[in-house]
Amino acid sequence: MKKDNNQLIMTLLKGRTFIVLILLIIFFSFASSSFLSVNTLTMVAKHVALYGILALGMTFVIITGGIDLSVGSVVGLVGMLAGGLIQEGLTIGGKTIYFTVPAIIVLMLCMGCLIGLVNGLIITKLNVAAFITTLGTMYICRGLANLRSAGATFSNIGGYEGLGNVGLKSLGANWFGIPAGVYVFAILSIMAALLLNRTPTGWHFLAVGGNEKSAKLSGIKADRVKIMAYIISGFCAAWIGLINTAQLSAAHPASGDGWEMNAIAATVLGGTSMSGGSGTIIGTIVGAFVIGVINDGMTMCGVSEFWQKIIRGAVIILAVVIDQTQRNLQAKMALQARNESK
């Protein structure tokens, strides 16, 4: 009887984030009459895509046992660099070059990968803790973002017809009624899920996070795997830098401030273990929805910004507490099964 109870609790615990998401949606649709409208849901989806894409990259980093605090600043830096390239172009030796929007997107994604590569190299080759390394690059990127314009905003990111660099704004627009960011989120999610579940590299992420020594003994290049995780994270952050700038129609150096925390929260809520070795893309997606629904729902219900912070903090701690409870219960059930078979 007690065992059945445990089994039931386990099932509930495993699906907890999804259950919480449903409950939240039900709650907010009663609390605010306009919550279940097309406009609101489009807005929520837009925000979820922002946290979600960052969280996809964060998932790989956390699965390998690391953390990436720099993503929020990368969002700001990439936005400023992209905005600058459109509004002012690139001046080399007195000549100013204007890039087309696709070229800018490719350049910015490379920029994100480069920052990830630097993070990864410092962490693996110089043996600096991931927390410290990415805390450092977080400040550096934020500083660079401000330096680019001496703290000012690039407000003309629409481009100039004559220069052929129009089009970035469409990344912030709706395509067939759905925000462009949601499409990017969907495509990146599918790619991430394929990478994690369907390729040898995906196994290697889980192996390095689960038992790095064993992974090395199995012939896995653990350093390379970790570096790749940070590159993916930088790549995702660069996407958000572009999408966010397009949505705001302006590049502001303070953009993305603190977003790494939303990404980490979404990842952890999605069941990825902070100690590495386990996590799923679908979990992270659900986690991003929970964060998005809580944030927007609370705003719509008129909860003050101060209380929102307190509630968000409590939700994150609660998620980890439940995660720990699940682990303990799992261990207890395994022990029980052993005693019974004895």
Chain residues that interact with other proteins, rule: CB under 8 A? 194, 197-200, 202-204, 206-207, 209-211, 213-220, 277-278, 334, 338, 342
Nearest-approach distance from CB 201 to other proteins, in angstroms = 9
Backbone region of residue 302 per phi and psi (left: phi > 0; alpha: psi in -120 to 50; beta: other values):
left
Q: What's the chain's length in residues?
A: 342
Dihedral sign for Cα 295, 301, 302, 303, please.
Answer: negative
Spatial contact of 42 and 174, defined as CB atoms under 8 Å apart: yes
Reference 60, options 186, 180, 199; nearest CA is 199
Instruction: For other proteins, give the closer residue by CB, 194 or 314.
Output: 194
Angle 301-302-305 from CA coordinates, rounded to 5°: 120
**Measured between alpha carbons, how far is 275 from 212 in angstroms, rounded to an integer?**
12
Least Å from the CB of residue 140 to other proteins? 31
Helix/strand/coil for 90? strand
Locate tokens 């994604």: which residue? 109
Burial class (CB within 10 angstroms; exposed 0-12, middle 13-18, buried 19+) of 338: exposed
User: Helix H segments across the chain?
Assistant: 2-14, 16-31, 38-63, 71-87, 101-125, 130-149, 180-198, 200-210, 212-217, 222-248, 259-269, 281-300, 305-341
Q: Minimal distance in Å, beta carbon 213 to other proteins?
A: 7
Provide, rounded to whole angstroms, the least separation between the CB of residue 203 and other proteins: 6
**Smallest distance, Å, CB 56 to other proteins?**
19
CB 76 within 8 A of CB 202: no
- Nearer to other proteins (CB atom), residue 2 or residue 342: 342
* Paired tokens of 228: 């790749």
Q: Closer to other proteins at the Cβ: 90 or 334?
A: 334
Which is nearer to other proteins, 155 or 214 (by Cβ)? 214
- Choose between 155 and 197: whose C-beta lies nearer to other proteins: 197
- For the record, the structure tokens of 165 come out as 């660099």
Q: Which is nearer to other proteins, 256 or 279 (CB)?
A: 279
Q: Which is nearer to other proteins, 162 or 200 (CB)?
A: 200
Q: Which residue, 152 or 194, is less far from other proteins as judged by CB?
A: 194
Of 156 and 211, CB closest to other proteins: 211
If DSSP codes are grouped into helix, strand and coil, which group holds residue 92?
Answer: strand
Nearest to 144 by CA among 243, 75, 210: 75
Amino acid residing at 119: N
